[in-house]
């Protein structure tokens, strides 16, 4: 075979391997954490559906939760020359992966998404939060007008291995009337209360 044919075959094999292990799912989930910031609540519901639960924090701030579940393919037993199930079990115990559930938590500030978090057993074999792409898939495939566009090329801000930094939040979305008047004071004096009135 010619070297160029080998390169193409190698690139295709790497793409198939990474996609089967969750690399692209993780990138898509983390890309959604960039792109969903700024969306209106109407657009979120149009592409992701109705939230499973909501909590109104104050007149301008709400928390919405979406849950998703995905079964992972399993190999029933080791057979033949390659003990595949044993290798997968060893990998999972050392590195994690093989998750099945995701909870997406949105903070809405003045009826717009201000941050997106994922929680749960949501890691696939390569990357983090890959299972969460099942929740954001509707928004990723058919974009809404209020979504933020992000350059997610191979050198863009999106990574399969860590979520993006949380954007700064407004004080009304972060603090209640009580917590705005009190702040943590960390000191070596173990008799002092950690939460003290703001000065």
Confidence of residue 17 (pLDDT cuts 50, 70, 90): very low
129-to-12, 91, 193 alpha-carbon distances in Å: 24, 17, 37
- Taking the alpha carbons at both ends of the chain, their separation in whole angstroms is 74
Tell me which DSSP letter residue 62 carries: E
The pLDDT tens digits for 27-60 are 999 999 999 999 999 999 999 999 999 999 999 9
pLDDT reading at 101 higher than 90: yes
Q: What percent of the chain lies above the pLDDT cut of 90? A: 50
Residue 2's pLDDT is what?
Answer: 67
For residue 130, what is the DSSP state? Answer: G
Residue 104, pLDDT > 50, answer yes
Q: In the predicted model, what is the mean pLDDT of residues 12-21?
A: 49
91 confidence band (pLDDT: 50, 70, 90): low
Name which of 99, 110, 93 is nearest 26 in CA terms. Answer: 99
What are the structural domain ranges in the chain? 3-174
Predicted pLDDT at 12: 46
What's the pLDDT score for residue 79? 60
What local confidence, expressed as pLDDT, does residue 166 receive?
A: 92
Cβ contact 137:71 at 8 Å: no
Average pLDDT over residues 78-105: 67
Instruction: Give 133's contacts (C-beta < 8 A, 6+ positions apart).
Output: 25, 26, 28, 29, 32, 140
Q: What is the pLDDT of residue 98?
A: 72
3-state secondary structure 22-58: CHHHHHHHHHHHHHCCCCEHHHHHHHHCCCCEEEECC
Query: Kindly report the CA angle at 67 between 169 and 104, in degrees rounded to 5?
Result: 20
E strand segments, 70-181: 101-109, 112-119
User: Do 126 and 21 meet the contact criterion of CB atoms below 8 Å apart?
Assistant: yes
Q: What is the pLDDT of residue 18?
A: 45
**Two structure tokens written together for 155:** 């050198």
Q: Give me the pLDDT at residue 190, please.
A: 86
Summary mean pLDDT of the chain: 83
Tell me the per-residue pLDDT of 129-164, one tens digit each, with 9 for 90 and over.
999 999 999 999 999 999 988 876 777 789 889 899
Residue, of 21 and 69, whose pLDDT is higher: 69
Whether the pLDDT of residue 15 is over 80: the answer is no
């Amino acid at each position: 075979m010619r070297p160029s044919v080998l390169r193409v075959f190698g690139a295709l094999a790497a793409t198939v391997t990474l996609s089967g292990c969750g690399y692209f799912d993780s990138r898509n989930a983390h890309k959604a954490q960039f792109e969903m910031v700024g969306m209106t609540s109407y657009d979120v519901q149009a592409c992701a559906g109705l939230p499973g639960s909501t909590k109104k924090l104050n007149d301008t701030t709400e928390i919405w939760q979406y849950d998703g579940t995905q079964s992972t393919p399993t190999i029933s037993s080791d057979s033949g020359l390659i003990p595949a199930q044993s290798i997968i079990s060893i990998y999972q115990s050392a590195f994690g992966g093989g998750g099945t559930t995701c909870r997406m938590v949105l903070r809405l500030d003045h009826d717009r998404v201000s941050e997106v978090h994922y929680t749960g057993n949501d890691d696939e074999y390569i990357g983090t939060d890959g299972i969460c792409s099942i929740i954001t898939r509707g928004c990723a495939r058919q974009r809404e007008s209020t979504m933020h566009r992000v350059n997610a090329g191979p050198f863009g801000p999106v990574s399969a291995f860590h979520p993006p930094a949380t954007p700064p939040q407004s004080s009304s979305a972060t603090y209640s009337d009580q917590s705005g008047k009190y702040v943590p004071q960390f000191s070596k004096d173990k008799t002092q209360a950690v939460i003290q009135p703001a000065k």
